[in-house]
């Protein structure tokens, strides 16, 4: 067999049926709890000015230093394929003045994201996320609400082994004292140059270093929860109490930090142990200072993004049956040219009546077409033979039982709609 000339770029892959349908169902399941909770859908461009991410995600983050797809356009603009959704959504909120209406603004989104990563299982250069952001409230109830909505999405997909990790990073009140303490500790370690530099620029990010030798050296590092101000502590306690009230099991993880610079106070991650090292199926947190960072007014916010691709892998790791394409209810089998012509009209009518219908094409014989009908998963075959047509009838065959009856052509659509509960 010859090799195809073109392949999907490194780190990307196609989602073909039935996997394509499965990822759609995953995204739908993630969106359903949000839509039922009053969140509105927002769509932003797939690329933005590079400066938005440099500023909004943070100059010292892995995303900005190593993972961005950035380029200069023919017109000379510096743009980047979006690596994440929060900065673009906040940019859109400010630009469209949503923050001047009723607060909080609750939004959800779904789309493709791009990061120049080292490809491996669960880590791709093109992946999809469903995200949610709530702007304009610093109530801890919003943090808890978002965590509950994510947990409900995972549950709706049948996942049992998603763990919720939470931490607080404190706010501007508590962060400086913690930062100092952490820096003092980190300067005492024997670190490579790059990491030592990071200690001076953004010491919290060092905690996110996944190398085992670094993790070991960090065992005695001070933890941020010991430095929380009274208000930060009260916020954190309220989130935890509300989660407990909602019956959500969570784990306090005082070492949890995440890859983006903008987080304040609540930070959380959803992990699945069946995925190996790419264990995070989603995560998020509060980012009360991000609006000001982007030149906006004070506008506290909190949000999350769930990874659809890893969630699908998690479902497979748990041995769950993946959601299937919906399939059709009726499969039409025309025999002969006149029948094909008549079938086209019937198929259109059936579909418009709400009966999911497919049809055998290209003058297939009865045997091949009936095989295709079986494969389609339809409940009924509608057979239009030449003799049927001459007599003004068609045969409705129930595929499971083989039961067959002739029905007048002008009653076929109503019959099938009735039998299948459509129309
Ligand atoms: P990780 O620590 O695994 O790199 P992250 O902190 O970079 O994750 P976020 O930016 O919080 O991830 O993105 C939210 C979710 O999107 C992640 O929990 C994950 O499920 C998914 N995700 C992130 N990067 C990728 C990727 N390169 N490929 C596939 N999914 C991804
Ligand atoms: Mg990452």
> How far, in Å, from the CA of 133 to the mean position of ligand 1?
17
Reference 172, options 24, 307, 298, 57; nearest CA is: 298
Q: What is the pTM of this model?
A: 0.93
For residue 108, the SS3 value is strand
The C-alpha angle 144, 149, 150, rounded to 5 degrees, equals: 100
The pLDDT, as a whole number, for residue 1 is: 63
Whether 129 is in the pocket of ligand 1, judged by its Cβ within 6 Å, is yes
Residue 101: DSSP 8-state:
S
d(CA 57, CA 65) in angstroms, rounded, equals: 10
Residue 113: DSSP 8-state:
E
Residue-by-residue pLDDT tens, the chain, 423 positions: 678 999 999 999 999 999 999 999 999 999 999 999 999 999 999 999 999 999 999 887 889 989 999 999 999 999 999 999 999 999 999 999 999 999 999 999 999 999 999 999 999 999 999 999 999 999 999 999 999 999 999 999 999 999 999 999 998 888 889 999 999 999 999 999 989 998 998 888 888 888 899 989 999 999 999 999 999 999 999 999 999 999 999 999 998 987 666 789 999 999 999 999 899 999 999 999 999 999 999 999 999 999 999 999 999 999 999 988 889 999 999 999 999 999 999 999 999 999 999 999 988 889 999 999 999 999 999 999 999 999 999 999 999 999 999 999 999 999 999 999 886
d(CA 320, CA 378) in angstroms, rounded, equals: 24
d(CA 190, CA 208) in angstroms, rounded, equals: 17
Q: Which residues contact 246 (CB under 8 A, 6 or more apart)?
A: 144, 148
The pLDDT, as a whole number, for residue 28 is: 97
The pairing of strands 330-334 and 357-359 is: parallel
Q: Which residues contact 81 (CB under 8 A, 6 or more apart)?
A: 46, 47, 68, 69, 70, 114
Whether 289 is in the pocket of ligand 1, judged by its Cβ within 6 Å, is no
Whether 67 is in the pocket of ligand 1, judged by its Cβ within 6 Å, is no
Choice from 57, 305, 314 to test ligand 1 binding pocket (greatest atom count within 8 A of CB): 305
Give the residue, by CA position, lying nearest to ligand 1 atom 7: 259
Reference 87, options 279, 305, 267, 308; nearest CA is: 305
> How far, in Å, from the CA of 135 to the mean position of ligand 1?
22
d(CA 218, CA 232) in angstroms, rounded, equals: 24
* Two structure tokens written together for 339: 């029948």
* Two structure tokens written together for 242: 């509300």
Choice from 11, 310, 311, 313 to test ligand 1 binding pocket (greatest atom count within 8 A of CB): 310
d(CA 61, CA 54) in angstroms, rounded, equals: 9
d(CA 343, CA 275) in angstroms, rounded, equals: 48
* Two structure tokens written together for 376: 């389609």
d(CA 31, CA 149) in angstroms, rounded, equals: 9
């Amino acid at each position: 067999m010859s090799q195809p000339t073109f392949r999907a770029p490194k780190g990307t892959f196609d989602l073909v049926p039935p996997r394509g349908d499965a990822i759609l169902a995953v995204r739908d399941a993630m969106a359903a709890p949000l839509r039922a909770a009053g969140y509105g859908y927002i769509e932003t461009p797939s690329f933005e000015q590079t400066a938005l991410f440099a500023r909004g995600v943070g100059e010292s983050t892995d995303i900005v230093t190593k993972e961005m797809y950035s380029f200069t356009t023919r017109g000379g603009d510096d743009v980047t394929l979006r690596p994440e959704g929060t900065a673009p959504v906040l940019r859109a909120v400010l630009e469209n003045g949503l923050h001047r209406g009723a607060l909080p603004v609750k939004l959800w989104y779904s789309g493709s994201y791009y990061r120049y990563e080292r490809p491996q299982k669960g880590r791709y250069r093109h992946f999809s996320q469903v995200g949610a952001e709530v702007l304009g409230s610093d109530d801890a109830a919003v943090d808890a609400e978002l965590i509950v909505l994510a947990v409900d999405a995972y549950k709706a997909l049948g996942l049992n082994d998603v763990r919720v990790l939470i931490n607080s990073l404190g706010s501007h009140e508590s962060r400086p004292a913690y930062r100092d303490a952490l820096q003092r500790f980190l300067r005492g370690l024997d670190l490579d140059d790059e990491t030592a530099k990071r200690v001076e620029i953004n010491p919290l990010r060092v905690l996110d270093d996944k190398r085992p030798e670094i993790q070991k050296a960090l065992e005695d590092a001070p933890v941020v929860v010991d430095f929380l101000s009274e208000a930060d502590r009260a916020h954190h306690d309220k989130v935890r109490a509300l989660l407990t009230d909602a019956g959500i099991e969570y784990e306090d993880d005082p070492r949890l930090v995440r890859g983006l610079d903008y987080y304040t106070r609540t930070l959380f991650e959803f992990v699945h142990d069946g995925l190996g090292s790419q264990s995070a199926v989603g995560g998020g947190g509060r980012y009360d200072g991000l609006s000001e960072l982007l030149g906006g007014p004070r506008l506290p916010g909190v949000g999350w993004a769930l990874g659809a691709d890893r969630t699908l892998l998690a479902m497979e790791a748990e041995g769950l049956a993946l959601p299937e394409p919906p399939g059709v209810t009726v499969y039409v089998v025309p025999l002969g040219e006149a029948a094909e012509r008549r079938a086209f009209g019937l198929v259109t009518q059936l579909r418009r009546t709400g009966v999911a219908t497919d049809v055998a094409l290209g003058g297939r014989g009865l045997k091949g077409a009936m095989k295709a009908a079986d494969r389609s998963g339809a409940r009924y075959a509608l057979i239009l033979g030449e003799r049927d047509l001459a007599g003004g009838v068609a045969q409705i065959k129930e595929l499971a039982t083989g039961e067959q009856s002739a029905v007048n052509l002008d009653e076929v659509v109503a019959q099938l709609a009735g039998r299948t509960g459509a129309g």
